[in-house]
Amino acid sequence: MSHVRQIARNPVSFRHALAVQQGLLDADLHVARRPNDPALAKRAFQQFLPEVPDTSVIELETSNGLWRVWVTGGTAECQDDAFFTKAADGRLVSVPSPRAELCWTSWRDLETVGGQTALVRFDGTNHPLEGMDVEIRPWTRGWQPPCRISLRYADRFRLSEAFCAHGTACRSSAALAMKLARALARDEHGHSLQSTAQVPPSLLRANADRLKTLQSQISDYGDGAAFPTFGRKANTEFPDYSYPTKTILVQVDGQLVAARVGIGGVGWRAIGDYLVVLYRLGSPKLEPVASYVVKRDVVGLQSATASIPASRRARN
């Protein structure tokens, strides 16, 4: 934990989950040995993961007599793994596996922690704060109760790009765009996004049908036109929305418009900047009037907590 706080003094080291993992590895965790043994890998895969589709990439790692075989597959980069030991007669003996869903921002590895074998799981988080949960489960002739570290980062939202139709000034709604991006980040499901816009309930009720019509024109499967730039080129790395997005009613300079709020990415992978588009209400076709790119920067460590099983605290 002291090392985590130390590397937090440099906010750049907390910009990505992988940087946090690397910081931990450099200090206390060391990846287990990964032998190149295709025959053993294939044998273990067929014996312990028979339900998993065959793959050309089967990986092994081992530490102090414990082995792990795993494969990574699918667009969500999901891991399927199994654990085993080798008997004196050459048999591969199954070891019960701690249950886990390991996809996208969740993964695990065999590591050594202070010379002791452990299974270390990393889970990245995005809402309401970006962060990383780390579970360290020691192995001593069986799995021991895990220790856990939970990291959450402080963040800052800033407008990086603005685009407007017909030379309309973007300045009046720029602050609103950042406010909406932050609200979406804090609430993964967007349930409180409309309340953030502070539109009077009477206006929401009176324009519910107009909003519904506009929402029906918006597809979550954009083709690049989903984020309009009015003839200019966006610098953001992912100018297409990932899905799903949220479309709500907002007020700009006393006028009621619709705002679509989401995150740039590929398909369901929300890996880019926050994207906000404002649309005119009541038009027969979808008519954007302004769009914004909002960056979410990690600026430091907000909290770092640890939990240690009572049995281990007693020993220490």
Residue-wise pLDDT tens digits, 127-139: 999 988 999 999 9
Q: Is the dihedral of CA 296, 178, 293, 74 positive or negative?
A: positive
pLDDT for the residue 24: 57
| b/e sequence 93-128, b meaning 16+ C-beta within 10 Å | eebeeeeeebeeebbbbbbbeeeebbbbbbbbbeee
pLDDT for the residue 49: 96
The tokens for 260 are 């679509």
Residue where the block lists tokens 């139709």: 165
Which residues of the chain, if any, have pLDDT below 50? 15-18, 223, 314, 316
Phi, psi (deg, nearest 5) at residue 222:
-70, 160
Phi, psi (deg, nearest 5) at residue 36:
-95, 95
Report the C-alpha gap between 40 and 34 in whole angstroms: 12
CB contact at 8 A, 74 and 68: no
Phi, psi (deg, nearest 5) at residue 215:
-60, -35
DSSP 13: G
pLDDT for the residue 275: 97
Contact partners, residue 202, CB within 8 Å, separation at least 6: none
CB contact at 8 A, 289 and 280: yes
Element at 203 (helix H, strand E): helix 201-206
pLDDT for the residue 1: 52
pLDDT in tens, 94-107: 999 998 999 999 99
Angle at 21 between CA 17 and CA 26, to 5 degrees: 145
Element at 135 (helix H, strand E): strand 131-138
Element at 66 (helix H, strand E): strand 66-73
